[in-house]
């Protein structure tokens, strides 16, 4: 549905929110619902005793397979499990629909992506209710917390409409 153009890659170098290295500090600042994007983020949240409402994982961290300990720690995540395909540097229609439906669902949901889940942070911010939180990993640095506000949504929307593809259809798919 949407593809990240090479010229826009620089926009992802800086975190979209405060960076945390301590999960307890992050949880103290995060509000519900929490949407986690990334295997390591989901793992750390679960290890701290917090099941994210939605977790988006792909079995990789920094392009390598996640450690066995992390894979085992993700077993049983979410009450529901949805598998889908999303190619690297893309946001597929299947990912947008699954993310929207998972956020709207009452049950905690694990979205297992074949391909890459990195860009799921953007639609997660747009689909998560105001006041909620989206957490993603900043490779080699820690976890980033995005508070879902009108301002953070506007920033993400401005970025998303610069992707190649039909941004209006993508936004409509998300229900925003």
**Residue 160 neighbours by CB under 8 Å, 6+ apart:** 2, 122, 123, 126, 167, 170, 171
Element (H, E) at 46: helix 39-47
Q: Which residues pair with 142 in a beta bridge?
A: 138
**Is 41 part of any known ligand binding site?**
yes
Contact 117, 58 (CB under 8 A): yes
**Is 117 part of any known ligand binding site?**
yes
**Is 118 part of any known ligand binding site?**
no
Q: How far apart are CA 17 and CA 111, in angstroms?
A: 23
Annotated binding site: 39, 41, 58, 117
Annotated binding site for GTP: 39, 41, 58, 117
């Amino acid at each position: 549905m949407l593809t990240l153009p090479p010229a826009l890659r620089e926009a992802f170098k800086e975190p979209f929110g405060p960076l945390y290295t301590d999960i307890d500090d992050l949880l103290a600042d995060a509000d519900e619902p929490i949407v986690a994007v990334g295997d390591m983020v989901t793992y750390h949240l679960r290890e701290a005793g917090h099941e994210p409402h939605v977790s988006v994982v792909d079995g990789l961290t920094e392009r390598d397979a996640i450690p066995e300990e992390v894979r085992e720690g993700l077993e049983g995540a979410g009450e529901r499990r949805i598998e889908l395909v999303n190619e690297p540097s893309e946001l597929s229609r299947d990912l947008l629909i699954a993310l929207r439906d998972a956020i709207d669902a009452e049950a905690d949901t694990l979205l297992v992506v074949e391909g890459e889940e990195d860009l799921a942070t953007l639609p997660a911010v747009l689909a998560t209710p105001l006041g909620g939180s989206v957490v993603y990993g900043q490779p080699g640095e820690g976890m980033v917390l995005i508070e879902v506000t009108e301002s953070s949504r506007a920033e993400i929307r401005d970025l998303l409409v610069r992707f190649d593809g039909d941004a209006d259809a993508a936004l409509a798919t998300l229900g925003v």
